[in-house]
């Protein structure tokens, strides 16, 4: 099993992920452009499989776009029955995410 501190998506590379747990976490971060501290709400999903290999790492999501796409799967932990293929496009404030779902057999 691969042990990582966290998962990070490579740009323009689809990544297949499976999640086992989730939590909403309030954090204080430093805005990289303004250098001011600000509070953000982060969706953290624990990942047990990445590209069909075992992992044990959190996937933290600050991007509202991606949070909105995954939020419908949080109710009743529906994400446990789904593999997500997530592709990150762009960077910084221009980042957008493409999400595909595959029902697990």
Tell me the per-residue pLDDT of 8-45, one tens digit each, with 9 for 90 and over.
899 999 999 999 999 999 999 998 889 999 999 999 99
pLDDT of residue 2: 47
Q: Model confidence over 48-74: pLDDT tens digits?
A: 999 989 999 999 999 999 999 999 999
Q: Which two structure tokens, joined as six digits, stand for 101?
A: 């779902």
Q: Per DSSP, what are the bridge partners of residue 24?
A: 43
**Dist. CA 36–CA 76, nearest whole Å:** 37
**Dist. CA 103–CA 105, nearest whole Å:** 6
Q: Model confidence over 71-98: pLDDT tens digits?
A: 999 999 999 999 999 999 998 778 999 9
Average pLDDT, the chain: 92
pTM: 0.88
Question: Which residues lie closer than 8 Å to 58 by C-beta, 6 or more apart?
Answer: 6, 7, 44, 45, 46, 47
**Three-state SS for 34?**
coil
């Amino acid at each position: 099993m691969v042990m990582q501190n966290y998962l990070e998506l490579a740009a323009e590379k689809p990544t297949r992920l499976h999640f086992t747990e989730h939590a909403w976490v309030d954090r204080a971060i430093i805005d990289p452009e303004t250098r001011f501290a600000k509070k953000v709400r982060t969706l953290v999903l624990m990942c047990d499989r990445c590209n069909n290999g075992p992992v044990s790492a959190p996937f933290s999501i600050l991007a509202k776009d991606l949070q909105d796409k995954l939020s419908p799967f949080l109710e009743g932990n529906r994400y446990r029955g789904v593999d997500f293929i997530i592709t990150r496009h762009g960077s910084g404030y221009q980042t957008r995410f493409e999400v595909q779902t595959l029902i697990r057999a």
